[in-house]
Amino acid sequence: MARSLRAKKPLRRVPTQERSRRRLETILQVAAEAFANQGFDAAKMEAIAAEAGTSIGSVYQFFANKRALFRAVAERCMEHSRKLFAERLTPDAITRPWRELVDDMVDTFAKLHTGDAGFRALIGNIQLYEEFADADQELLEEFARATNHLLSIWAPAMEAQRREVVATVVVNGIAGLLVAGTRLGEKTFEAMLDEIKLMIRRYLAPELDALDAAPS
Q: What is the pLDDT of residues 167-183, one digit of tens each?
A: 999 999 999 999 999 88
Domain residue limits at 119: 75-210
The answer to the question of residue 35 being in a domain is no
Reported as a single tens digit per residue, the pLDDT across 55-79 is 999 999 999 999 999 999 999 999 9
Say what the pTM is: 0.85
The answer to the question of residue 34 being in a domain is no
User: What is the helix (H) or strand (E) element at residue 31, kind and residue range?
Assistant: helix 18-38
The answer to the question of residue 110 being in a domain is yes
What CATH number does the domain containing 186 carry?
1.10.357.10
Cα–Cα nearest to 87, from 75, 98, 79, 97: 79
At residue 175's C-alpha, the angle toward residues 172 and 181, to 5°, is 135
